[in-house]
Amino acid sequence: MAQTVVRAIVEDELKVKAQAELAKQGLTLSDLVRMALREAAEGRISFSFDGVIRNRETLRAMKELDEGKGERVASLNAFHEMMKK
């Protein structure tokens, strides 16, 4: 299988710290990138910057709302009432 180079620009300190942590597990930065890309290619990876991990169903529902579909509510209380139906 043909290979290609993937580049990322990061801070020096971040790279050094990441390499040290990965080395403890016997991994390199290239190993980590390969693993992440394989997972992403299979749709099994999702990043969240608010601490919430979203599954495929949640991501699909969010996309649906972004496309103007689905049902929106004005408040959390309204959401709870809708869920009781």
Residue 6 lies in a domain: no
Q: Residue 5: inside a domain, yes or no?
A: no
Q: What is the domain range of residue 77? A: 12-84
Find out whether 32 and 24 touch, Cβ atoms under 8 Å. no
pLDDT tens string for the chain (85 positions)? 899 999 999 999 999 999 999 999 999 999 999 998 998 888 877 666 677 777 888 888 888 888 888 887 888 888 888 888 8
Q: Is the dihedral of CA 5, 9, 12, 17 positive or negative?
A: negative
Structural domain includes residue 4: no
Domain total of the chain: 1
- The total of other beta-carbon atoms located within 10 Å of residue 34's CB is 13
> What per-residue confidence (pLDDT) applies to 50?
72
1 within domain boundaries: no
What are the tokens at 37?
A: 């890309």
**Is 3 domain-assigned?**
no
User: What local confidence, expressed as pLDDT, does residue 45 receive?
Assistant: 76
Closest CA to 48 of 61, 39, 38, 58: 58
* Angstrom distance (rounded) from CA 69 to CA 67: 6
**Structural domain contains residue 57:** yes
